[in-house]
């Protein structure tokens, strides 16, 4: 990291932030994910720190491989059901028994890309594209009046018999969407629609207008449509406005391009990782902008006109927008009038795709869907600085600072579509951990507590769905034998003790994290204490841990792992915790309060005094709960 | 440099002849009259493309097939241009940007070829840019001019010409979406939207790079 920061006075003068350096390389040959056997249902697997609890094939209705037509998309959670979108409908899984999920319902309905959210008894499904019909049928849209682009709303009061309540039409449709509860009315949610499609013509949907001026309040293009859903009357759901969070963004890439030229000049080649000869990065021939350099007249705005995906963190009134060439930070205190707080562009990001906040809201991980999700962008030859994650910190005054990149440390094959994709937090106290789908790159668990040094702590990977072409195969033969399968994990999420992953081509996976030296049994036990009845990953819930021994022991394990406190003290604290746990009621509370007092004395002089302090407070909280 | 090959090797006719003969089949699905347009910027198809046959029940149209075929040629030329960078003294920033275009568009070519083959259509190979002229593609003169440039002059020419090239891709997407019944196939629709989003952003980046030269 350090090298890119040594930019000296010139950079300071221009108040240019440093471009994160890349400290990562693909492994050279001993990674267990290398060389896995190909196969749709009998592919080889490699895992570390997690195990497959169950795999369920797609329902027969979607069991066909034809490009994207029948692929699974995202998932949402409520009660003991998992709602899994598909480009041709959706599946509701009953996961009461995670080792044997059962299909509660399959609803065929052509709807790309079918991303779901669940709010109470209402299921929302994203509809983008030109081929979705109001009646869900096959055969394409014959008349514009049959075209459905927007949000489908189903009543799933009975998850075994979903009923379509309303198709809410919108100008640009919905590739993905994000639920934001009304801060003032529990009976109302707002839904932000994201996507990349142009606006429909006014002849198809009244009021739609494809303008080229981002500042024109009448154009439908440079906004996220906002739908208001009265939960008791979903049939009255309608578009109520647009989030105009792009205005003025057109010119900003200058700073990045210039910044990068600067970084390359200042940093030279050191410390940027990667393998020799692959990258064209670094070097010092990039020119700094000269005043008055001729610039072409912009032919059209080149800033974003939509987001691929936005992640709301309603408890913090924040939203992270992954919007084409920008990552945005947005205040959603009033969901109908969002306000952009900051924006970050980065030429190492091809397509800002999605975001995950840390639980305290001080960090956000953005992903780059380089190659659109269908390309094999994790090969040994693929650029390491693209198609991964980047970690940004958020200052108190709500400004971004970009820190580092992360890409799975495994070279995948040319048969495996792979790039960073959707994920969510694993609720381990004291650490920022996320689980994430990387398409055929598998499921990865990543620690981003230190924004400068994210690292992998667990993974599960299958071999490619298709075998590589045989020697001498013509391209046509390879296509007809293998099928160019687009597969892998669309998104992987931790929910109530397990990891659930939507597999595009194969079906539905459930995993359990396992203790390793990077993640302890206590940390996993603490994570399991966090329960959410309902979970929509793009509407991130605030994690609150109960007062409990595993929570205290998580901090203790972390202090041991990172040498945050002297080992004689951590050993003594561990023994005192064991002794206190054997007691009950007032005796336990007294023992814990005494221990907390001792730990408070450890704060000063500890290498990680902040964590010791937090642990002391957790012990006090546990004491209070023990009385 | 690029290893992809199309099995069929039908005789290649000059682009001008092809553009006249096949204009209607590939440039303007709304207007099937062969002599409808004489615009010199109109896309031209190589003679090696068979007539498009749409199977019963398919949601894709001739415009979708021609879009995918044409975009292969369009991408292939962008890759050719990008691979000139390393031998022409491009600056480090431009080299990296060119590498990104190369790596991004080669996998998209494979995606388009796979879609065409899966749907029983002719899939052009990466040499197709020599015989197909799509919007924004460089003329023979522009290619010569680019190849003759070195160092900062190459950087400047590359950016100007690649912006022109990308704008052509955006036009192809706009034309596709403006064609009735087109882009209903989900693979075509998702891909076309990706082209729009990514290349729009890249044009912005290139305009900035040009300003920074």
Q: Does A137 touch chain B (CB under 8 A)?
A: no
User: If you ran DSSP here, which 8-state letter would residue A199 be given?
Assistant: P
- In 3-state terms, what secondary structure has residue A100? coil
Under a CB-based contact definition with an 8 Å cutoff, are residues A366 and A388 in contact? no
For chain B, list residues with pLDDT below 70. 1-48
Q: Count Cβ neighbours within 10 Å for each residue of A67-93 and write b for 16 or more, e otherwise.
A: bbbbbbbbbbbbebbbbbbbbbbbbbb
Residue-wise pLDDT tens digits, A513-528: 999 999 999 999 999 9
Cα separation, A481 vs A463, whole angstroms: 17
Average pLDDT over residues A260-278: 31
- pLDDT, one tens digit per residue, over A556-571 is 999 999 999 999 999 9
* C-alpha span between A522 and A432 (Å, rounded): 16
Beta bridge partners of residue A328, listed in sequence order:
A321, A343
Give the Cα separation of B76 and B6 in Å (integer).
13
Which chain B residues are Cβ-neighbours of A288 within 8 angstroms? 212
The H or E element containing residue B109 is helix B92-118
Q: What is the pLDDT of residue B8?
A: 34
**CA of B68 vs chain A CAs: smallest distance (Å):** 14
Does residue A267 sit within a domain?
A: no
Domain that holds residue B173: 15-212
- Comparing CA positions, the residue from A97, A12, A112 lying closest to residue A53 is A97
- CB count in 10 Å sphere of residue A145: 9
On whether both A363 and A236 belong to a single domain, the answer is yes
User: How many domains does chain A contain in total?
Assistant: 2
Q: Which of A52, A77, A75, A53 is nearest to A531 (CA)?
A: A77
In a domain, A295, yes or no: no
Predicted model pTM = 0.88
Token look-up 């990387």 returns A438
Specify whether A197 is located in the same domain as A346.
Answer: yes
Domain final residue pick, A535, A557, A580:
A535
At residue A345, the 3 state secondary structure works out as strand
Q: What is the DSSP letter of A324?
A: B
Residue B80 belongs to a domain: yes
- Residue the block writes with tokens 């205005």: A247
User: Between B92, B123, B209, which is nearest A280 by CB?
Assistant: B92
Half-sphere exposure of B144 (CA within 13 A, CB side): 3
Q: Kindly state whether residue A85 falls inside one of the protein's structural domains.
A: yes
Interface contact A366, partner B, CB < 8 A: no
Residue A273 lies in a domain: no
The CATH number of residue B144's host domain is 1.20.1260.10
CB of A477 less than 8 A from some CB of B: no
Tell me whether residue B53 is in a domain.
yes
What is the predicted pLDDT for the residue at A385? Answer: 86
The rounded distance, in Å, linking the Cα atoms of A451 and A454 is 6
Q: Are both A505 and A553 inside the same structural domain?
A: no
- ipTM of the shown complex: 0.88
Partner-chain contact B186 A484, CB within 8 Å: no
Instruction: Using the predicted structure, report yes or no on whether residue A90 has a pLDDT greater than 80.
Output: yes
The pLDDT assigned to A15 comes to 31
In a domain, B205, yes or no: yes
Give B145 to chain A, closest Cα distance, Å.
19
Which of A535, A563, A583 represents a domain boundary (last residue)?
Answer: A535
For B160-195, write each residue's pLDDT tens digit: 999 999 999 999 999 999 999 999 999 999 999 999
Contact A421, A490 (CB under 8 A): yes
A115 and A174 housed in the same domain: yes
On whether residue A286 sits in a domain, the answer given is: no
> CA nearest B104 in A: which residue?
A371
Domain assignment present for residue A356? The answer is: yes
pLDDT score, position A47 = 98
Backbone torsions φ then ψ of A66, nearest 5 degrees: -150, 85
Judge whether A244 and A211 are in contact, CB under 8 Å. no
- DSSP for A477-500 reads HHHHHS-----SEEEEEEETTEEE
Provide, rounded to the nearest whole percent, the portion of chain A with pLDDT above 90: 77
Task: Quick: pLDDT tens for A389-439.
Answer: 999 999 999 999 999 999 999 999 999 999 999 999 999 999 999 999 999
Spatial separation of the C-alpha atoms in residues A260 and A124, rounded to whole Å: 41
The beta-carbon neighbor of B208 closest among A112, A253, A484 is A253
Range of the domain at A609: 549-626
Closest chain A residue to B3, measured at CA: A475
**Structural domains of chain B, count:** 1
3-state secondary structure of A102: strand
Q: In A, residues 59-78, which contact B (CB 8 Å cutoff)?
A: 66-69
Residue A466, pLDDT above cutoff 60: yes
Residue A173 backbone zone (phi > 0: left; psi -120 to 50: alpha; other: beta): left
> Using CA atoms, how far apart are residues A606 and A22, in angstroms rounded to an integer?
31
Judged by a CB distance cut-off of 8 A, whether residue B36 touches chain A is no
Which 8-state DSSP code applies to residue B147?
H
Q: Are A456 and A578 within one domain?
A: no
Nearest to A590 by CA among A604, A574, A579: A579
Q: Using the 8-state DSSP alphabet, how is residue A131 labeled?
A: S
pLDDT at A338: 97
State the DSSP code for A555. H
Q: Tokens representing A434?
A: 């996320």
Q: Is the pLDDT of residue A449 over 50?
A: yes
CATH of residue A444's domain is 2.130.10.10
Residues within 8 A of A (CB atoms), B 137-196 only: 152, 160, 163, 167, 170, 174, 177, 181-187, 189-191, 193-194, 196
- B39 burial type by CB count under 10 A (0-12 exposed, 13-18 middle, 19+ buried): exposed
**Residue B5 located in a structural domain:** no
pLDDT at A495 over 60: yes
Quick one: A107 and A147 in the same domain? yes
The enclosing H or E element of A240 equals: strand A238-243
Asked if residue A280 belongs to a domain, the reply is no
Whether residue A258 is contained in a domain is answered as no
The dihedral built from the CA positions of residue B149, B155, B160 and B161, taken in this order, carries a sign that is positive
B87 contacts chain A (CB < 8 A)? no
Task: Give the distance from residue A206's alpha carbon to the nearest chain B alpha carbon, in angstroms.
Answer: 17
pLDDT at A296 exceeding the cut of 70:
no
From CA A91, how far away is CA A70, in angstroms rounded? 12
Cβ-Cβ contacts under 8 Å for A439 (sequence gap 6 or more): A373, A416, A417, A418, A419, A421, A486, A487, A488, A489, A490, A504
CA distance linking residue A253 with residue A344, whole number of Å: 9
Q: Which residues contact A179 (CB under 8 A, 6 or more apart)?
A: A117, A119, A124, A189, A190, A191, A312, A536, A538, A539
| Interface contact A258-B103, CB threshold 8 A | no
* pLDDT number for residue A467: 87
Angle between helices B140-148 and B62-84 (to 10 degrees): 20
What's residue A27's pLDDT? 66
Residue, of A301 and A81, whose pLDDT is higher: A81
User: What confidence score (pLDDT) does residue A562 get?
Assistant: 97
- B9 lies in some domain: no
Read off the pLDDT band of A469 (50, 70, 90).
confident
Residue of A286, A383, A474 lying closest to B93 (CB–CB): A286
């Amino acid at each position: 990291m350090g090298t890119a920061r040594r930019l000296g006075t010139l950079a300071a003068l221009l108040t240019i932030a440093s471009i994160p350096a890349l400290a990562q390389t693909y492994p050279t040959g001993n990674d267990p994910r290398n060389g896995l056997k190909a196969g749709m249902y009998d592919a080889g697997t490699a895992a570390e720190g997690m195990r497959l609890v169950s795999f369920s094939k797609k329902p027969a209705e979607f069991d066909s491989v034809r490009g994207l037509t029948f692929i699974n998309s995202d998932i949402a959670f409520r009660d003991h059901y998992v709602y899994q979108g598909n480009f041709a409908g959706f599946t509701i899984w009953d996961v009461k028994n995670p080792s044997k999920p059962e299909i509660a319902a399959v609803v065929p309905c052509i709807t790309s890309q079918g991303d779901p959210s669940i709010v109470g008894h209402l299921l929302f499904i994203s509809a983008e594209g030109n081929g979705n019909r109001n009646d869900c049928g096959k055969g394409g849209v014959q008349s514009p009046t049959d075209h459905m682009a927007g949000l489908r709303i189903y009543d799933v009061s009975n998850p075994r018999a979903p009923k379509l309540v309303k198709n809410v039409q919108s100008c640009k449709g919905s590739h993905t969407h994000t639920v934001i509860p009304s801060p003032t009315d529990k009976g109302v949610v707002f839904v932000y629609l994201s996507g990349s499609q142009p606006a429909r013509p006014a002849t198809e949907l009244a009021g739609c207008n494809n303008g080229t001026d981002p500042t024109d309040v009448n154009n439908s293009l440079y906004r996220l449509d906002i739908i208001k859903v009265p939960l008791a009357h979903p049939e009255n759901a309608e578009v109520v406005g647009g989030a105009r969070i792009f205005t003025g963004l057109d010119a900003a890439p200058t700073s990045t391009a210039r910044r990068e030229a600067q970084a390359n000049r200042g940093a030279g080649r050191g410390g940027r990782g990667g393998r020799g000869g692959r990258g064209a990065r670094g070097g010092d021939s990039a020119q700094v902008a000269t005043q008055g350099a001729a610039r072409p007249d912009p032919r059209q705005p080149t800033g974003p006109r939509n987001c691929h995906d936005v992640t709301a963190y309603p408890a913090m009134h924040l939203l992270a927008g992954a919007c084409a060439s920008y990552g945005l930070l947005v205040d959603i205190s009033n969901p109908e009038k969002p306000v952009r707080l900051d924006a970050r562009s980065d030429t190492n990001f091809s397509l800002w795709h999605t975001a995950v906040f840390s639980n305290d809201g001080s960090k956000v991980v953005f992903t780059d869907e380089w190659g659109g999700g269908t390309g094999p962008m994790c090969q040994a030859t693929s650029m390491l600085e693209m198609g991964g994650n980047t970690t940004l910190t958020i200052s108190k005054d709500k400004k971004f600072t970009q820190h580092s990149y992360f890409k799975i440390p495994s070279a995948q094959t040319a048969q495996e579509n792979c790039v960073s994709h959707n994920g969510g937090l694993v609720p381990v106290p004291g650490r920022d951990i996320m689980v994430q789908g990387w398409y055929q790159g598998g499921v990865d668990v990543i620690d981003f507590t230190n924004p400068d040094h994210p690292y992998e702590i667990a993974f599960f990977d299958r071999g490619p769905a298709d075998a590589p072409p045989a020697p001498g195969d013509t391209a046509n033969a390879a296509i007809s034998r293998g099928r160019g399968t687009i597969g892998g994990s669309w998104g992987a999420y931790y929910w109530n003790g397990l990891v659930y992953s939507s597999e595009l081509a194969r079906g539905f996976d459930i995993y359990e994290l396992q203790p390793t030296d990077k993640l302890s049994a206590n940390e996993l036990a603490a994570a399991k204490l966090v329960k959410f009845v309902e979970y929509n990953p793009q509407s991130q819930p605030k994690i609150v841990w109960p007062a409990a021994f595993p929570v205290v022991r998580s901090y203790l394990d972390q202090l041991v792992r990172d040498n945050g406190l002297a080992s004689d003290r951590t050993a003594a604290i561990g023994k005192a915790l064991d002794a206190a746990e054997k007691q009950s009621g007032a005796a336990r509370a007294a023992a814990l309060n005494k221990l907390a007092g001792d730990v408070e004395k450890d704060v000063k002089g500890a290498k990680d005094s902040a964590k010791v302090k937090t642990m002391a407070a957790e012990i006090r909280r546990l004491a209070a709960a023990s009385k | 440099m690029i290893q992809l090959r199309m099995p069929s090797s039908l005789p290649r006719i000059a682009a001008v002849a092809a553009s006249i003969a096949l204009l209607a089949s590939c440039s303007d699905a709304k207007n099937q009259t062969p002599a409808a347009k004489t615009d010199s910027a109109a896309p031209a198809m190589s003679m090696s493309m068979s007539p498009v046959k749409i199977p019963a029940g398919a949601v894709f149209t001739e415009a979708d097939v021609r879009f995918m075929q044409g975009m292969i040629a369009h991408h292939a030329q962008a890759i050719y241009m990008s691979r000139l960078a390393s031998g022409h003294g491009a600056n480090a920033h431009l080299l990296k940007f060119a590498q990104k275009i190369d790596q991004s568009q080669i996998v998209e070519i494979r995606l388009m070829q796979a879609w065409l083959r899966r749907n029983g259509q002719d899939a052009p190979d990466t040499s197709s840019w020599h015989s197909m002229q799509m919007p924004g593609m460089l003329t023979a003169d522009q290619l010569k001019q680019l190849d003759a440039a070195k160092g900062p002059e190459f950087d400047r020419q590359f950016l100007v010409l690649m912006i022109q090239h990308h704008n052509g891709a955006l036009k192809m997407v706009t034309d596709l979406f403006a064609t009735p019944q087109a882009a209903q196939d989900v693979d075509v629709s998702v891909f076309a939207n990706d082209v729009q989003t990514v290349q729009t952003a890249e044009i912005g980046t290139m305009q900035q790079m040009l300003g920074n030269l």
